[in-house]
Structure 1
Amino acid sequence: MSSSTRLALVTGATSGIGQAFARRLATKGYDVIAVGRRQERLDELVAEFPAGQIRPVVADLSTPEGLNRISEICRQEPITLLINNAGVSHYMGFTDLPTKKASELLQVKVIAPTLLAHAAAPGMVERKNGTILNVAGMLAFGATAPLGEAAGRATYVAALSHLVSLSLALHEELKPAGIQIQVLCPGVVATEFHERQGMDLSAIPRMSAEEVVTASLKGLDTGEVICAPGVEDVTLLGRALHANLQAFSGQSPKLALRYRGK
């Protein structure tokens, strides 16, 4: 996190966790490229800091034009810290989720962060300095959790799981070059996300976006690859990953006994 030139690019910077990241990083002395869809929100953010410290870029990452514009910035500029935070509030049952919304969700939470990391990583590797931070959520570990009152969330959960797997694989691949990777997995956070879906969670205890950012930055300082701000027993995450590797290592080229015979 220490570099003579510190340039952060934050997507989804107009509200919630992304906005909290942009503010915190600017306060810590970063130059920040704040990406979002709402010009007026970006302008308000820019006005909070000295001229030039936060550069607003309006882009919709669900569109090829928006994604290409931000990818080009990631390729051309010396990004120190890339924060893939942008999201959309399409938290719906699988059969109820319109195709257009499903496509937008996958574009914003799967394709965009993957391609932005792909655009930024070569420069980071060349400079031997850089951090890629992907914002997912604890539902990445909760595919089989009871639905409760929710109609379903399969596409959303799958998108978060992609970010966890992508981050873990990038960590293994890029750590020899000194590149730091983190996937941030908060639980329910007090942001506009649920409000945009018409969900009132005001009665439910929720973490603030500022607390999530605090956990993430401290996690980077201690080398956490998976940052789960609300998980007290961090060994739970280690055991989950170990179980995955055990399943992976437990395979053989022979058909398992349970599938043999009549």
Structure 2
Amino acid sequence: MPAARDETDHQSSGCALSRRGLLMAGAGATAVTAAGTAPGVAAQVPSPPAPPPQENLVATTRVTLSVNGQPHSLVLDNRTSLLDLLREHLQLTGTKKGCDHGQCGACTVHLDGRRVNACLTLAVMHEGARITTIEGLGTPEKMHPMQSAFVRHDGYQCGYCTPGQICSAVAVLDEIKAGVPSHVTGDLTARPLLSIDELRERMSGNLCRCGAYSNIIDAMADVAGLAVPGNGDRRPA
């Protein structure tokens, strides 16, 4: 019996491959085909081509506008706020950056005759616009009547919010004159009354951490020709 088994093995070995060898050879061939390399060698996955070098991707726009009567043409990052245009590009630092979220009013300027918070609007939105800042209202030698009234009534303490307060105060009187209603206007079809309540309501978006509110209203009442609060019926001379 052992001799017969040896003969069978010998006859099997005379074939090209044993069953085990055939299976191993097939698996090796499959691996070579799939990986594209010899068995036992790690497959090399080609790396993606490197992207071409990119230049500055910041989008810019040329903006031309008038600031305090002077024309300016600048190429700006599209994300530049009107406030940063004034302060960083034109060095008009009278307009202050307070909260930078439209909550304090320190950055108030006049845009085409209407007051806006300069921190909340992009410069590229105002091609051809007319901007007036505190520097454009008056100078130390020739002050705007509202600036003079703020000095006369001590409408400031630290002074940081004062440029925005003055720009807003000037716009408030123009709004009332133009008949623009406010939240305390009783009848929206009627012209708003020029009153202390109207002044207070319309100035509520300008914050003063020093608390000079009563003096600010005094200054505005002075310019508007109203009786100054606390002085009875006496009108300012």
Q: TM-score, normalised by structure 1?
A: 0.24
Which of the two has higher C-alpha Rg?
Answer: 2
> Greater relative contact order (Cα 8 A, min sep 6): structure 1 or 2?
1
More helix by share: 1
Q: TM-score, normalised by structure 2?
A: 0.26
